[in-house]
A = this chain, B = another copy of it.
Amino acid sequence: MKDGIKIVTIGGGSSYTPELMEGFIKRYHELPIKEIWLVDIEDGREKLEIVGELAKRMWKAAGYDIKVNLTLNRRDALKDADFVTTQFRVGLLPARIKDERIPLYYGMLGQETNGAGGIFKAFRTIPVIKSIVDDMRELCPNAWLINFTNPSGMITETVIKHFGWKRCIGLCNVPEISMKHEPKNIGKTRAELNYRFAGINHFHWHKVFDNAGNDVTAQIINHLNDADGGTPKNIFQAKFPLDLIQSTKLLPCGYHRYYYLATEMVNHAVEEFKRHGTRAEQVKATEDSLFELYKNPDLNVKPKELEKRGGTYYSDAACECISAIYNDKRQLLVVNTRNKGAISCLPYDSIVEISSLVSATGAEPLTWGNFDAHERGWLQLMKAMEECVIDAALTGDYSMALKAFNINPLIENGTNGINTINELFVAHEKYLPQFADTIKILKDKGISPQDEVVREIIANGN
């Protein structure tokens, strides 16, 4: 790192890349980057070229002499990297469409990080992240892996606990969104408040104190259902049951709606699905128009239109984390890291999403302690579910996948659940090499997705 930092971004062809570039440009004074490598796969070549050229124009306009490399050869890129960021999506948006449509067909929530869709996203991603870590071990053994790929918590747990790569931190933009939006609702600035987060990715709570040490969580809860209550825009803003929330004395994250308001959320999702199709299909349209914008050779800054997507602030989380490590900042950030006892009710080796001090040695969680029974039970259930998912993803064991489905509270236990898991296996065949035997058996039994759109996607070779 002595003569400048080398950054590698896997999934560099993502529409989010301009945001990441903007984040690095803003922080160049503290993060002296020497070279950036944007890596993608053959299927993403066109997008990589479009967004890569925009990235080059952005750095040039900023007046910095940074080398931006575009490549389909991951190993070339990884050689001697200092930080590797991951933002790829295995199977691209067609895979997300399947993750959403198949559960919805059976009346269950279709969502790419929670429920049945999130489980299959993990199944597809874990084999790929394994190959990335294998390459890193050989080519850049001292690099940090900064993961944004969802399900971010499970991917980070797999990398650290199962692949033994300790220099990994998982990130998510959800805490950042809360901290950006909530303070003004109680007439404070962010600097005047002291935030503490604990839980797991997409299933965490936070509490907030003012500068005199008073707990102001209850005040912020009262604004939770406000127009700008701090929930990511990709989540339907059903009204939280404030009686229940106040009794927890904790602020939920936006994704808690799926668990605290399950009926409303699934009803809304099914209705939307019938009327407008899935979110993935909407995102696809947004992305297409973003790439049209990116092609403009005069564009050399991040376009405003990008902020409409759910992933906003991702780059802030990533750049802050990288800078805290590089500059040994000992800065409080919310990250996915090893529990080590910080949350008493979860296993020592679990990955948790928690307020942590980030320095040159990595992330160290602040000790959170106990949760009350209600939050404890939910959290233990969700962590056990994650463990079943990871176990199934690593072993390709169908019965372990059944266990993951059985314990996931957003999936119906019974025939609908079985149909959903079986169809998802068949639909994602191309990206699930570890489950080849299972999928063969299912296909031999004649199982195939019932949803027309999904059948078409498969027919088109995805």
Contacts and interface: CB of A to CB of B under 8 A. Distances in A.
B406 A409 contact: no
A416 interface: yes
Contact of A380 (B341, B368, B377, B402): B377
A259 interface: yes
A167 to B, nearest CB: 9
A399 B247 contact: yes
A75 B339 CA distance: 45
A365 interface: yes
Nearest to A348: B344
Interface in A356-394: 357, 359-362, 364-370, 373-374, 376-378, 380-385, 387-388, 391
A10 interface: no
Interface string A265-276: 100000000000
Contacts of A417: 263
Given A344-B348, A367-B341, A399-B247, A259 B413 contact: yes
Contact of A414 (B196, B262, B332, B360): B262
A212 interface: yes
A213 B143 CA distance: 12
B361 A357 contact: no
A64 interface: no
A307 interface: no
Nearest to A365: B367
Nearest to A263: B414
A360 B413 contact: no
A194 interface: yes
A260 B367 contact: no
B262 A412 contact: yes
Contacts of A385: 377
Interface string A397-412: 1111011101101001
A407 to B, nearest CB: 5
A4 interface: no
A248 interface: yes
Contact of A384 (B265, B359, B369, B374): B374
Nearest to A247: B399
A402 B263 CA distance: 15
Contact of A413 (B194, B261, B341, B397): B261
Given A361-B213, A384-B378, A241 B340 contact: no
B260 A406 contact: yes
A402 B348 CA distance: 29
A415 interface: yes
A397 B417 CA distance: 35
A330 interface: yes
Interface string A144-158: 000000000000000
Contact of A361 (B209, B264, B344, B391): B209
Contacts of A373: 384, 387-388, 391, 403
A260 B407 CA distance: 9
A413 B289 CA distance: 38
Given A263-B412, A374-B406, A409-B409, 12 more contacts: A213-B325, A244-B399, A247-B400, A247-B402, A330-B332, A340-B369, A341-B341, A348-B369, A366-B366, A376-B380, A377-B384, A380-B381
Interface of A: 1, 194, 196, 209-213, 241, 243-244, 246-248, 259-265, 325, 328, 330, 332, 339-345, 348, 357, 359-362, 364-370, 373-374, 376-378, 380-385, 387-388, 391, 397-400, 402-404, 406-407, 409, 412-418
7 contacts: A196-B364, A247-B402, A341-B342, A341-B344, A364-B367, A373-B403, A374-B388
